[in-house]
């Protein structure tokens, strides 16, 4: 499908992923990018979603809308994460089907995979127990990608999905309950430096390894997958749950990440690891060979990009404190 003069709805355009996709697509000419804030369109309300899609004659949808958070929020508010993320996905996907919208890209999460796997492949989905600390969020994401799959296989739809690894970059959250690991650590180290604290507490043992991708690389991957010839997409995904992993290709321990951020913000104190907090999955490394075979790979090197991000974010947090 050519993009010229198409109406493209970005659900979740104010979030980190949605903003990155919007920014990337905005560079392209002859696109009508359609967005709505939560006050204008309640994605938990099917009637509103259905009416909106019908009225605006949408051609494509990027589903980046989600209630997301770090390990504390995921563990503490599982019912909210399960309900809201399920309803967002099911409402948009089903309404798209009813309105004959042929093309969707659904953004999932690596938490859909069984715990204690060291190499996460698409075929591993539903082949083991989920990580208990984010089971609610994971089940909701599985519902969304499976509904995309079933509509595509049973009807003349082209509903695609990608499963990214952990993300970082502009527009992430920094509050203690909902932030992901990297922005949470940047805020801790920046505050510790500004207040001349002798130590920084990091939740968990520091041993778990995580794979991180810059959100701009993910946006590139999302648009790349949407533009793929349908036959190519089907051929590479038909025997692996009809979605594609998107990862950086290497993982780093929380200790390594903490040290990179510590150096980036020039903090001189000690790092204390609080083992009373859960570690979550010990290792999560995506196998992204399928999307790489199709022609995409990340462009931004992790350590240098994280260093730059940490420095910029620390300056922003300091400026906000002064206001």
Catalytic residues: 137
Place of tokens 């009416």: 51
Contact (Cβ atoms closer than 8 angstroms) between residue 181 and residue 254: yes
Q: Which residue pairs from 71-74 have beta carbons closer than 8 angstroms and sit at least 24 positions apart in sequence? A: 71/133, 71/134, 71/181, 71/203, 71/277, 71/278, 71/280, 72/176, 72/177, 72/203, 72/277, 73/177, 73/178, 74/111, 74/133, 74/134, 74/136, 74/137
Helix (H/G/I), strand (E/B), else coil: 38: coil
CB-facing half-sphere around the CA of 285: CA atoms within 13 A? 11
Helix (H/G/I), strand (E/B), else coil: 130: strand
Q: Token digits for 163? A: 């499963």
Place of tokens 């796997």: 117
Residue 14 burial by Cβ neighbours in a 10 Å radius (0-12, 13-18, 19+): middle
Could you please report the per-residue DSSP string of 196-247?
T-SEEEEES-S--EEEEEEHHHHHHHHHHHHHS-HHHHHHHHTTTTT-EEE-
Q: Token digits for 214? A: 């810059």
Residue 258 burial by Cβ neighbours in a 10 Å radius (0-12, 13-18, 19+): buried
């Amino acid at each position: 499908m050519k993009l010229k003069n198409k109406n493209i709805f970005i659900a979740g355009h104010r979030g980190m992923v949605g903003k990155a996709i919007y920014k990337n697509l905005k560079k392209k000419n002859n696109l009508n990018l359609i967005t709505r804030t939560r006050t204008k369109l309640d994605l938990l309300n099917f009637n509103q979603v259905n009416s909106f899609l019908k009225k605006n004659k949408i051609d494509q949808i990027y589903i980046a809308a989600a209630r997301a958070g770090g390990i504390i929020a995921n563990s503490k508010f599982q019912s909210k994460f399960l309900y809201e993320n399920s309803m967002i996905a099911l409402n948009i996907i089903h309404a798209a089907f009813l309105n004959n919208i042929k093309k969707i890209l659904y953004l999932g999460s690596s938490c859909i995979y069984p715990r204690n796997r060291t190499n996460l492949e698409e075929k591993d989905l539903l082949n083991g127990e989920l990580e208990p600390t984010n089971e609610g969020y994971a089940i909701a994401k599985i519902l969304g990608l499976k509904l995309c799959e079933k509509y595509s296989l049973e009807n003349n739809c082209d509903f695609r999905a990608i499963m990214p690894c952990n993300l970082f970059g502009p527009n992430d959250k920094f509050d203690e309950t909902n932030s992901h690991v990297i922005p949470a650590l940047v805020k801790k180290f920046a505050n510790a430096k500004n207040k001349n604290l002798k130590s920084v507490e990091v939740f968990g043992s520091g041993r778990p390894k995580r794979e991180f991708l810059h959100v701009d690389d993910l946006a590139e991957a999302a648009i790349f997958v949407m533009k793929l010839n349908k036959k190519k997409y089907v051929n590479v995904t038909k025997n692996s749950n009809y979605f594609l992993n998107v990862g950086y290709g290497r993982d780093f321990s929380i200790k390594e990440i903490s040290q990179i951020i510590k150096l980036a913000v020039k903090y001189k104190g000690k790092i204390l690891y609080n083992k009373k907090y859960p570690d979550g999955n010990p290792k999560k490394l995506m196998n992204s060979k399928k999307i790489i075979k199709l022609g995409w790979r990340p462009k931004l090197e992790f350590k240098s990009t994280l260093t730059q991000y940490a420095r910029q974010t620390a300056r922003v947090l300091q400026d906000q404190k002064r206001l």
